[in-house]
Structure 1
């Protein structure tokens, strides 16, 4: 199990605490593999881009109009967090459904 997020993100820290067996990848320093990002976009669509983030608010209209995968490749902090990969299964965010699916208690 791999958790993609930011080390200073409270939600990612909660998820990591509840999933001690997960390997953590900081998307700011290490990024997200392109094939995983493409699979996550195919599964979650526009929800993969966090349009409520500070990074998003700082983008110009031209930048926001770019294809989401291109944007996420250049600005990994725009990704909704955490993105959790367990085998072929992908989970986005740390809501009750994700916690239940992974058998974690927050």
Structure 2
């Protein structure tokens, strides 16, 4: 089963959901504001793609961090501020992808 992690009011999430639905792809959506992810789940994202891809440096949340926090992003800080996670995070049998990429998503259909 494909899992999509994100927040429901995110435009990129809406675009990704619409795309997958149009492709006839079944997926489970997990809103990490309503259903916080575990430390293990976050670590699995990081292990798969690395911190650089997981953290959304264009988010308001990231821009509001202190310089020290930006240099020392931790699991705890990210779990406390889930909007730091770039969206969507898609977990499939073949791995983890972060962000909406049509080519990647078309391969799921």
TM range (shorter): 0.7 to 0.9
Q: Structure 1 segments of 4 or more deviating over 6 A?
A: none
Gaps of 5+ in 2: none
Give the length in aligned residue pairs. 103
Gaps of 5+ in 1: none
TM-score (norm 2): 0.82
Equivalent of 1:24 in 20, 29, 34 = 29
Please tell me the root mean square deviation across aligned C-alpha atoms, in Å: 1.7
Equivalent of 1:69 in 68, 72, 75 = 75
Q: Deviations over 1:8-51 (max 9, x none)?
A: 11110111122232111111221223222111101211210001
- The structure whose RCO (Cα within 8 Å, separation 6+) is larger is 2
Q: Does residue 10 of structure 2 align to residue 5 of structure 1?
A: no
